[in-house]
Structure 1
Amino acid sequence: MDIGTMLGILGSGFLVTLQIFFLTLVGSLPLGIVVAFGRMSKFKPLALLVRFYISIMRGTPLMLQMFFIYFAPYYIFGIELSTESKFSATIVAFIINYAAYFAEIYRSGIQSVPKGQLEAAQVLGYSRVQTFTKIVLPQVVKRILPAMANEIITLVKDTSLAFAIGVGEMFSSAKALVASQVSMLPFVFAAIFYWVFNFVVEVILNRVEKKMNYYHD
């Protein structure tokens, strides 16, 4: 097999990797905010339930969570498994897993804002929404960006775990090519794909962080 064909196959797998990456971010970033507020809720049963969810998501392997979500419909409800269900299970597992991590990052950022600033906002007549959007949010975003960047870069690499339930992302493609061509070259090309992707993500996140420098602690 020539290198062009090999790169074409890896490129097709990379498109699936991109889908997993972007769909996970689209789902987990907003869900993480909801989870963070649930975690900080003054309603104790809700706060304890969310803490338990976060503990499970962070305390068990993502691969195990994928297997559970993929096979649970069959073993519990007798629903037949399909190729589409593999991809759906992957996305759901990634979203609920990363939402737990993002929630803790959000929570730490929100709780790092001095209470004195919130009290000052109340004195000035700010509503809760105005206080959050104009005072809390700008500081939180700036403070959590480094931690968020680390998680997002980790997500790029974690997409390779989807091969475990048969999703045809880039690592799956590389693994199949290595077996069929008896060559390590597909792994080398896959590593380059991942590195370039991570480099682009890192550059974008660094630019966002620099734009947030208008705010100084």
Structure 2
Amino acid sequence: MENVLANFDLVLKAFWLTIQLALLSGLVALVLGTLLAAMRVGPISVLRGVAATYVTLVRNTPLLVMCIFVFVAAPNLGLFVGMPFLLKGTIAVGLYTAPFIAEAIRSGVNAVHLGQAEAARAIGMTFGQNMRYVVLPQAFRASVPPLASTLIAMTKNTSVVAVFGLMEATARMRDFVNKNSDDTMLIFLVFAIGYVILVELISFAAYGLERRWKAAR
């Protein structure tokens, strides 16, 4: 335990890397997930099929497989060559999380009363305008709890990229355990508390956002 306390700056750096990975991956997942949700409820059958296929395939694939593709297979195909590990991890976790975001948003879209979309079409709005100004703002409000759960799961899933050499929190924890096997439980406890703090911050932000939007109705 003395080794952890003496090198607590390394612990903070590891969690800062985890936060960066979670923020960047969350941004990728939210953008791509919103696009996939719009495609799935859109009028173009080809786009619906593409989005549904992507969602089905990725949701039924382990995150480790996605990471192997991004870190190992893709460079052999000429993709992501020379890219920093942080960006590779962001792509892997973001691409994996996007389908779960899409399904959460799609459930919110389905919660919006059909009459509102029909009214928007009646005044001449295109599908894109309808989604942007009428449907999606309400869908996001309805989707806050499942979105928060998905982002919490994504934050914990960032630990998988430790396998590929990114020295985030889980990788740093493993390093400390390898050097101090007698203090394994205490080291686990320190890093577990760090993850609990991150998860609670997401939960607190989601709760505050949900209350704010309810008050604005």
TM-score range, shorter chain: 0.7 to 0.9
* Aligned alpha-carbon RMSD (Å): 2.4
Distance in structure 2 (CA, Å) of the matches to 1:20 and 1:109: 26
**Which 4+ runs in 1 deviate beyond 6 A?**
79-82
- Note closer, same or farther for the CA distance 1:137–1:42 as it changes in structure 2 (3 Å cut): closer
CA distance in 1, matches of 2:135, 2:58: 27
- Whether 2:50 is the aligned partner of 1:52: answer no
Cα distance in 1 for residues equivalent to 2:43 and 2:120: 21
User: Closer, same or farther in 2 for the Cα pair 1:80/1:114, shift >3 Å?
Assistant: closer
Which residue in 2 is equivalent to 1:97? 96
Structure 2 stretches lacking a partner, 5+ long:
none
Report the counterpart of residue 63 of structure 2 in structure 1.
Answer: 62
Cα drift, residue 46 of structure 1: 2.3
Deviation string 1:20-78 (CA, Å, 9 cap, x unpaired) is 0010112111121111122223322222122111111100001110011111134334x
Percent identity (aligned) = 23
Question: Quick check: 1:58–1:100 contact (8 Å CA) kept in 2?
Answer: yes
* Cα separation, 2, equivalents of 1:65 and 1:179: 27
Quote the Cα distance in structure 2 between the aligned partners of 1:37 and 1:115: 15
- Which residue of 2 is the match for residue 35 of structure 1? 36
C-alpha contact 2:38 2:131 (8 A) present in aligned 1: no
Q: Which residue is equivalent to 2:209?
A: 208
Change (3 A) 1:80 1:89: closer
Q: Which residue pairs with 2:17 in the alignment?
A: 16
Contact 1:160/1:172, CA 8 A, preserved across alignment = yes
Task: Give CA-to-partner distance per residue, 1:133-163, whole Å, 9 cap, x none.
Answer: 5542342122101100101111221111111
Structure 2 counterpart of 1:194: 195
User: 1:174 maps to which residue?
Assistant: 173
Q: Distance in 2 between matches of 1:122 and 1:51?
A: 25
- Distance (Å, rounded) in 2 between the aligned partners of 1:94 and 1:168: 16
CA distance in 1: counterparts of 2:158 and 2:142, whole angstroms:
26
Distance 1:6 1:20, change over 3 A: same
SS across alignment from 2:203: helix
* C-alpha separation in 2, matches of 1:215 and 1:134: 17
Q: How many residues align?
A: 213
Which amino acid letter does the alignment assign opposite residue 14 of structure 1? F
**Residues 29 and 97 of structure 2 are in contact (CA less than 8 Å); yes or no, is this contact kept in structure 1?**
yes
Query: CA 1:134–1:38 in structure 2 vs 1: closer, same or farther (change >3 Å)?
Result: closer
Alignment CA distance shift 1:86-1:113 (3 Å):
same
Query: CA shift at 1:91, angstroms?
Result: 1.0
CA contact (8 A) 1:121 1:131 kept: yes
In structure 2, distance between residues paired with 1:86 and 1:205: 29
Q: What is the identity, as a one-letter code, of the residue corresponding to 1:153?
A: I
2:42 alignment partner, SS class: coil
Do the aligned partners of 2:80 and 2:88 also contact (CA within 8 Å) in 1? no
* Aligned counterpart, 1:165: 164
TM-score, with structure 2 as normaliser: 0.87
Distance 1:192 1:53, change over 3 A: same
User: CA–CA distance in 1 between the matches of 2:70 and 2:180?
Assistant: 33
12 and 44 in structure 1: CA distance in 2 versus 1, 3 angstrom threshold? same
